[in-house]
Structure 1
Amino acid sequence: MGLFERYLSVWVGLGILAGVGLGLLVPPVFQAVSAMEYAQVNLVVAVFIWVMIYPMMIQIDWSAVRNVGKKPQGLMLTLVVNWLIKPFTMAALGVLFFQYIFAPWVDPQSASEYIAGMILLGVAPCTAMVFVWSQLVKGDANYTLVQVSINDIIMVFAFAPIAAFLLGVTNVTVPWETLLLATVLYVVLPLIAGMLTRQWLLKRSRDALPAFVAALKPWSVIGLIATVVLLFGFQAETIIRQPLVILLIAVPLVLQSYGIFFIAWWGARWLKLPHNVAGPACLIGTSNFFELAVAVAISLFGLNSGAALATVVGVLVEVPVMLSLVALVNRWRPAA
């Protein structure tokens, strides 16, 4: 592991501090960057995510993708956890904490909105960042691509019905522009770019591909840290203005993340999945498609609602939590 990968948690921690500090010192800069979005997808963040996942897309071997269907257990684990377990455990934790445990500190209206935001996060499993987590745990790039692709297809049909059921409303409108734009920006375009780059490198020489991927590795981590700086910079004032609320919302979100991870990890062990399939399978359900959740929260409850705030807190806690889980997966990797 290089310097960047070895001390990744340190760099991310510094990125969080830098984001909050810069967000307070130069808020107009972050406001201007925040405004550079289309369909709730921030275009600058999209560029940094591109930088993160492009190296992994280059490593996808299409001849191996065809063989993924011969080992369906990992796909089944991903789909069961994401669609039959995660949304409902998130809803249960939201109710437990905000209608009972935290009830003395939160008014009923705000509590309902926080629960709604948590539910929207629970029904929106991650797309783009999965490729980053998979790369960090040395996951099977080909299998990860298929897991994410099938997950996205199901999300198109399952998001609205499950969200409507758990929210108790019937007017959940899927922001198709957000869903489609994010999928194109975070999966389709980098995948095409990776395919073309891979073909070009393989034609040059046998060593060109691994050398190019190794050269890009630091940039992948830089993209992650830059994303962290922006996300925390966007919400710096909220973090300082409402620290207690942020903390209250973060508690069930963190418990949900670790709980879902360990459920998936137990399932992976029971299915005897290879480590490079089990790691990404567990991490897909643990992280969230926050652009989609934020967009739906704003459309249903408003920009300044508790639901929108809860989805934003999901963004803030995700990176530190996911890095800790990446460390666990790497620690549990079987000896060669």
Structure 2
Amino acid sequence: MSIFERYLTLWVAICIVVGVAAGHFFPGVFQSIGSLEFAQVNLPMAVLIWLMIIPMLVRIDFMSLSQVGAYWRGIGVTVFINWAIKPFSMALLGWLFIGWLFRPLLPEAQIDSYIAGLIILAAAPCTAMVFVWSNLVRGEPHFTLSQVALNDAIMVVAFAPIVGLLLGLSAITVPWDTLLLSVGLYILVPVIAAQVYRRWLLSHGGIDAMNRVLAVLQPISIASLLVTLVMLFGFQGEQIIAQPTVILLLAVPILIQVYFNSGLAYLLNRVSGEQHCVAGPSALIGASNFFELAVAAAIALFGFNSGAALATVVGVLVEVPVMLSVVWIVNRTKGWYDKGDAVRRNTEARATP
């Protein structure tokens, strides 16, 4: 394990402090970076995400994707969590905490808008960042890629109806340009680039050359994650300092939702007998959010300065630190997971000729 990975939590904490401070003292710099966008998709962030996930995608042999059907339990669990549990549990948590428990501490006029933002956030499952989390738990890369592709396909048809149902709207405006551009930039472009580079490496130096290159790229991938974190907190530095109480209160249902959904997915995979290398990314995919789409949808529906937009931004702020804690839990509990009766039975069955 590299020094980046060994002390990742420390680097993340430093990046959060640096990002908030930089956003507060140099807001013009971050406003300039934030303006480099198209259809609510920030282009510098897209480049950083490419640097994060391309080294992970280079490891994937697309010829092996035909075997992903062996992980049908993990796929079923993740789809169930993402689309049957997550948006509805967030609606309940939003009503419980924002609409009731924390109501006296929040601006009354924004209560419904805050809850709407939380629902929008939960209805958009994560895409690109999942590759980072999966890599940190040594997840099965073919499962992760196929699950992300399936989620993207479902999102195209299910995002608007689910959000519309939970918000009580007869029709909602889905930022299709943001959705399609995000899928293209964060999934299609890096996948194609990684596979072209993989074939070139294998044809010019074989597997040894590819491993040497990946050893160099891995620290770049982690460094890109840390720079992304500085930028995310830098973009919202003013908001964090101006409204710390509101942000902390909005973070409570988001945190509960992340741990609830990731824990439920992890347990369901264990009960079903799925391998740990699938259960890990399944839990992480079930808990994380596609914040680019969520922020864009909240702005399109409620406006840039709305409570809904702020609620989705809070999701952005807690995403990396919280998901790293889930990564830590998944890695530390592997021994316990593998002792599950169903897991052991299926492992023995796979080992039997």
TM-score bucket (shorter structure): over 0.9
1:103 and 2:96 correspond: no
1:255 is matched with 256
**Whole-angstrom CA distance in 2 between matches of 1:107 and 1:222:** 38
In structure 2, the gaps of 5 or more residues are 339-353
Q: How far apart are residue 36 of structure 1 and its match?
A: 0.6
How far residue 215 of structure 1 moved from its aligned partner, in angstroms, is 1.0
Does the Cα contact within 8 Å between 1:131 and 1:144 map onto a contact in 2?
yes
Paired amino acid for 1:225? L
Task: Provide the rounded CA distance (Å) in 2 between the counterparts of 1:120 and 1:14.
Answer: 30
Which residue of structure 2 lines up, in the alignment, with residue 128 of structure 1? 128
Report deviation, 1:205: 2.1
Matched, 1:196 2:196: yes
The alignment status of 1:266 with 2:267, answered yes or no, reads yes
Alignment partners' CA distance in 2, 1:30 and 1:321? 24
Identity of aligned residues (%): 54
Q: Which amino acid aligns with 2:45?
A: V
Stretch deviating more after TM superposition (311-320 or 206-215): 206-215
**Aligned letter for 1:114?**
Y
1:333 is the counterpart of 2:300? no
**Structure 1 residues 63-82: aligned runs within 5 Å:** 63-82=63-82
Work out the number of aligned pairs and report it.
336
1:220 aligns with 2:221: yes
d(CA) in 1 for partners of 2:171 and 2:287? 27
Match of 2:45 in 1: 45
Q: For residue 176 of structure 2, what is the amino acid of its counterpart?
A: W
Q: Is the 8 A contact 1:99 1:108 kept in 2?
A: no
Q: How far apart are the structure 2 equivalents of 1:69 and 1:238?
A: 45
Q: Report deviation, 1:63.
A: 2.0
TM-score by length of 2: 0.93
Report the 3-state secondary structure (helix = DSSP H, G, I; strand = E; otherwise coil) of the residue aligned with 2:169.
coil
Match of 1:169 in 2: 169
Structure 1: which 5+ runs fail to align? none
For 2:43 and 2:140, the matched residues in 1 are separated by 28
> Do 1:275 and 1:334's aligned partners in 2 also have CA atoms closer than 8 Å?
no
Q: CA deviation at 1:161?
A: 0.1
The letter of the residue matching 2:49 is I
CA RMSD of aligned residues (A): 1.1
* Deviation (angstroms), 1:173: 1.5
Deviation at 1:71, TM superposition (A): 2.8
1:13 corresponds to which letter in structure 2?
Answer: A
Measure, in 2, the Cα distance between the counterparts of 1:180 and 1:219. Answer: 27
What letter corresponds to residue 207 of structure 2 in structure 1? R
Question: Which residue does 2:314 correspond to in 1?
Answer: 313
Amino acid at match of 1:290: F
Aligned to 1:33: 33
Contact 2:71/2:274 (<8 A) preserved: no
Counterparts of 1:3 and 1:99, CA distance in 2: 44
SS in 1 for 2:207: coil
| 1:195-246 Cα distance to aligned partner (Å, 9 max, x none) | 1111111112230111111111100111100000000000000000000000
**How much does 1:62 deviate?**
1.3
Give the TM-score, by structure 1 length: 0.98
* SS of 1:169 mapped into structure 2: coil
Task: Identify the residue that residue 347 of structure 2 maps to in structure 1.
Answer: none
- Comparing 237-246 with 71-80, which one deviates more in the overlay? 71-80
CA shift, 1:108, in A, is 3.5
Q: Partners of 1:108 and 1:18 in 2: how far apart?
A: 33
CA distance in 2, matches of 1:208, 1:172: 50
Aligned to 2:244: 243
Between 1:199-208 and 1:25-34, the stretch displaced more is 199-208
Please state how far the C-alpha of 1:100 moved relative to its aligned partner.
1.2
| Partner AA of 2:12 in structure 1 | V
- 1:106 is displaced (CA, Å) by 2.1
Is residue 71–residue 278 contact of structure 2 (8 Å, CA) maintained in 1? no
